[in-house]
Amino acid sequence: MLNISDNTVHCEKDLQGLHAPDKVRMPGWHLSFRKLMLTLFGLFVLFMFLPWTQNVRADGKLTTLRPEHRPQTIHATIAGRIERWYVTEGQAVQKGDTIVFLSEVKSDYFDPNLLLRVGNQVDAKQGAIESYSGKVGALETQMEAMGRELDSKLSQIRNKIAQTNLKLESDSIKIVQANIDLQVAQRQWNGAKALYDKGLKSLTELEEKRMKLQEAETKIVAARNNLETGRQELRIYHTELRLTQNEYANKIAKTQSDKFSTLSEKYDAQVSVSKLQIERDNYTRRTAYYYIVAPQDGYIVKAIKPGIGEIIKEGDPVVSIQPADYQLAVEMYVKPIDLPLIETGRKVRFLFDGWPSFFFSGWPGVSLGTFGGHVVAIDRNISANGKFRVLVAPDRQDEPWPPALQVGGGAKGIALLNDVLLGYELWRIINGFPPDLYRGVNDPGEKTEKKDGSL
C-alpha cells in the first residue's frame, strides 16, 4: 500500500480469521526455492565454461610389449614317447634347461648304432670316390701313352713315305737314263745293221749291237717296274697311315669313354656321399631333439602332455612357458567408429582389475588409482571380434604400473582426447556428434585439420 497517510492500517489484524487470504498467501519456502534454482542455474552456466577432457573407453587385457616375451607353447620337433619330466608346473627354468626327455617311436630310428653305420657307409663311398679318381688318372696316363705311341708310329710311316718318294724319284731318273740308253742302242744297232747289209760289219758285231739293244730294253722295263712298285708301296704306306690314325683314334676314344664312365660313377658316388652325410647330420640333429629344452628364461605354466609313456606327434604342444623378463603392455580393442580418434602416442588411462580406482570422466587429473600409458601400435586389420586391436605401453613419465600385474589380467582403458568446454561436450552428446571434432577450449569453433591440411 502507498504511504500517503500517517494513519496505519492494521491489515494483518483485519485479515485475521479470514480463510481466503490464507489460500492465496505465498509460502515462505518458495522464495528460498527460487534463490536455490537461480544459484543452481548460475552454477550450471559456470560449469558450461569448465574444461572437459574427451575420452574413448575400451576393454583390454595385459600382454607384453615384445612378441618374444609373451607366453609361448613349446612343441615337439619329432614324434616320440615321453620318458621323463625334469620340471614341475610353476618352476623357474633357465635357457637350455631340460624340460622333458623323449624316446624314439619310429622303426626307422630304432638301431642304436645308426649313426655309426651311416658313418661307415660314408667312409666306404668316399673310398670308392678315391678309387674312381685313381682309375681316371690311370686312364688319362693311358691316353697320353697312346698319343705318344701314335706319334711314334706316324713318324715311322711318314719316314717310309719320304723314303719311297725318294726312291720314286730315283726310279724316274733310271727310266730316263734307260730311255736314253735304249735310244743309243737302237741307233747303234740300226747303224751296225746298215753296215752289215753293205758288208762292212760282221755278223758278230751285229749280234753284239742286238744284245746291247735287248739289254737296254730290259733295263727300261725293269726301271718302269721298279717305279710302279714304289708307287704301290707309297699307296700302301698312305693307307697304313690312315689305318693307324683310325686305330689309335678308336683306342683313345674308348679310353675317353671309360674315363667319362668312371667320372660319372665318381659323381654318382659323390651324390651318394652327400645324401648319406645329410642323413647322418639329420640323425645327429634328431638325437638332440630327444631333449626338449627351455628356449629362454621363464616359468613353466602348464604341462599340456602330462604323464609318462604318452605318445606325441611331430608339432604337438608339450608345455607352455612364461618368459621371466618382459615388459608389460595392454592390448585393448576399439570400435571401428572410434578408431580414427586413436593415433600413435595418444595418452591412455587404465583401471586394472584388482586395484581400487576412481575415475572421473572429463577430469582425469582428479582421478585416483589409474595408471598412464601411451599408444605404440595400431593393427591394420580388424580382429575377429569386429574391433581393432591397439597396443599401449606404460608411460614412463607417469606413475609406474603395479609390479604384481600378471599377463592376461583385465584392464579398462580410457583414451584421452582433446580438452573442450563442458557446454560443448553436452551439446555434442545431445546432437550425436563424434568426439574430438574441434580442437579445444581455446577455440572451440575451429575445426580440427588433418595432416594433409584438409578439414
Query: What distance in Å separates the CA atoms of residue 166 and residue 161, rounded to the nearest whole number?
Result: 9
Fold of 114-287: Helix Hairpins (1.10.287)
| DSSP codes of every residue in 111-161 | -TTHHHHHHHHHHHHHHHHHHHHHHHHHHHHHHHHHHHHHHHHHHHHHHHH
Q: Which residue is listed with cell 740308253?
A: 181
- Give residue 246's identity as a one-letter amino acid code: N
Q: Please indicate, yes or no, whether the overall pTM of this predicted structure exceeds 0.85.
A: no
Q: Is 305 exposed, middle or buried (0-12, 13-18, 19+ CB in 10 A)?
A: middle
Query: What distance in Å separates the CA atoms of residue 441 and residue 49, rounded to the nearest whole number?
Result: 9
SS3 assignment, position 70: coil
SS3 assignment, position 412: strand
Per-residue model confidence as pLDDT tens digits over 389-414: 999 999 888 888 888 888 888 888 87
pLDDT-above-90 percentage for the chain? 17
Per-residue model confidence as pLDDT tens digits over 14-68: 556 666 666 655 555 566 777 778 888 777 777 676 676 667 788 889 998 888 8
Select from 3.40.50.720, 2.40.50.100, 2.30.30.280, 1.10.10.10 the CATH code of 72-95+290-322.
Answer: 2.40.50.100
Helix%, strand%, coil% for the chain, nearest 5:
50, 20, 30
Distances (CA, A) of 50 to 53, 57, 269, 362, 438: 10, 22, 88, 10, 16
Q: Is 269 exposed, middle or buried (0-12, 13-18, 19+ CB in 10 A)?
A: buried
Compute φ and ψ for 228, nearest 5 degrees: -70, -35
Where is pLDDT greater, at 20 or 194?
Answer: 194
- Give residue 438's identity as a one-letter amino acid code: Y
| Inter-residue contact 136 to 263 (CB < 8 Å) | yes
Region 447-452 average pLDDT = 40
Q: Quick one: cell of 174?
A: 733310271
Query: What distance in Å separates the CA atoms of residue 141 and residue 146, rounded to the nearest whole number?
Result: 9
Q: Which residue is listed with cell 581455446?
A: 442
Q: Which residue is listed with cell 555434442?
A: 428
The whole-number pLDDT of residue 171 equals 80
Q: Give the start-to-end residue ranges of the domains of the chain.
A: 50-69+326-431, 72-95+290-322, 114-287
pLDDT at residue 443 is higher than 50: no
- CA-based nearest residue to 13, from 4, 1, 5, 21: 21
Q: Which residue is listed with cell 667312409?
A: 123
Fold of 50-69+326-431: Elongation Factor Tu (Ef-tu); domain 3 (2.40.30)
Where is pLDDT greater, at 144 or 7?
Answer: 144
pLDDT band at 325; cut points 50, 70, 90: confident
**Residue 238 parent element (H or E):** helix 203-288
Query: What distance in Å separates the CA atoms of residue 272 and residue 260, rounded to the nearest whole number?
Result: 18
Query: What is the rounded radius of gyration, in angstroms, for the C-alpha atoms of the chain?
Result: 61
Where is pLDDT greater, at 5 or 218?
Answer: 218
- CA-based nearest residue to 146, from 245, 257, 264, 238: 245
Region 298-315 average pLDDT = 88
- CA-based nearest residue to 368, from 380, 377, 376, 360: 360
Compute φ and ψ for 454, nearest 5 degrees: -80, 165
Q: Quick one: cell of 232?
A: 704301290
Query: What distance in Å separates the CA atoms of residue 355 and residue 420, rounded to the nearest whole number?
Result: 30
